[in-house]
């Protein structure tokens, strides 16, 4: 199974992706995690993107597209994957369609997690506080000011993907404001696996 999770920062894509992974045994590919790992390891790409990510802005399309092309071509991706945080712009979606075409693969589902902005701010601040309390690392972009930039990026650059996938008849929407288990339940039902 190959699927894409869409939704604003804090909508719960990472949490639901974990549930999908446990149920279907497919890979969780989060471009945010991949980029944070590159930044932490101070790779060439990591050094380039660290400041962009901390500002809340998107990193250049070519860079994430190259990372995804490389990752999806690895053998373990053959079982399928759930993409979290990619595609995030129309040009990423077009490049992803080209990649699927070239590889003879089909995208099965796109699920949008809907949530309003008030709740997102609460969730992001809670995530930052909990990370701090447990002695973990707080994401450089999990704060009130940067969230505003991330939401603007989402609304301007990523939200158009909802229409892009709706016209391809792939889009399902789930209310991400419900408790985690309820979201999972609805999500599985939305993809015909309830
Ligand atoms: P969230 O969905 O909570 O905003 P992510 O972990 O998905 O967080 O992404 C964090 C940051 O990583 C983004 O703000 C952006 O800078 C960068 N990023 C992740 N995925 C992409 C992508 N597909 N295209 C461009 N930038 C990306």
CB atoms within 10 A of CB 8: 24
Ligand 1 midpoint to CA 32 (Å): 5
Quick one: which of 61, 56, 35 has its CA closest to 46? 35
Angle of the 90-103 helix axis to the 61-72 helix axis, nearest 10: 30
Q: Which atom of ligand 1 is nearest to the CA of 86?
A: 23
Quick one: which of 47, 55, 37 has its CA closest to 137? 37
43 DSSP assignment = -
What gap in Å lies between CA 110 and CA 167, rounded to an integer? 12
* Ligand 1 cavity residues, CB under 6 Å: 9, 31-32, 35, 52-53, 56-59, 64, 85-86, 88, 92, 141, 150
Separation of CA 92 from chain center = 13
pLDDT digits (tens, 9 = 90+) for 94-136: 999 999 999 999 999 999 999 999 999 999 999 999 999 999 9
Ligand 1 midpoint to CA 123 (Å): 17
Ligand 1 midpoint to CA 138 (Å): 15
Q: In what order do the strands lie in the sheet with 81-84?
A: 27-30, 81-84, 2-6, 109-114, 171-175
**Looking at domain 2-190, which CATH architecture does it have?**
3-Layer(aba) Sandwich (3.40)
Q: What is the pTM of this model?
A: 0.95
pLDDT given at position 194: 84
pLDDT digits (tens, 9 = 90+) for 3-59: 999 999 999 999 999 999 999 999 999 999 999 999 999 999 899 899 999 999 999
């Amino acid at each position: 199974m190959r699927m894409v999770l869409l939704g604003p920062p804090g909508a719960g894509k990472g949490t639901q992706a974990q549930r999908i992974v446990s149920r279907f045994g497919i890979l969780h590919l989060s471009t945010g995690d991949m980029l944070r790992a590159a930044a932490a390891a101070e790779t060439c790409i990591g050094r380039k993107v660290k400041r962009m990510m901390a500002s809340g802005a998107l990193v250049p399309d070519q860079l994430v597209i190259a990372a995804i092309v490389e990752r999806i071509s690895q053998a373990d991706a053959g079982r399928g994957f759930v993409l979290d945080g990619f595609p995030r712009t129309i040009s990423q979606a077009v490049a992803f369609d080209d990649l699927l075409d070239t590889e003879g693969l089909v995208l099965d589902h796109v699920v949008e997690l809907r949530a309003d902005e008030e709740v997102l701010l609460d969730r992001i601040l809670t995530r930052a506080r909990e990370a701090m309390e447990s002695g973990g690392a707080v994401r450089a972009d999990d704060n009130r000011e940067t969230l505003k930039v991330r939401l603007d990026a989402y609304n301007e650059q990523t939200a158009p993907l909802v229409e892009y996938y709706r016209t391809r008849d792939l889009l399902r929407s789930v209310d991400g404001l419900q408790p985690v288990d309820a979201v999972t339940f609805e999500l599985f039902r939305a993809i015909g696996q309830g």
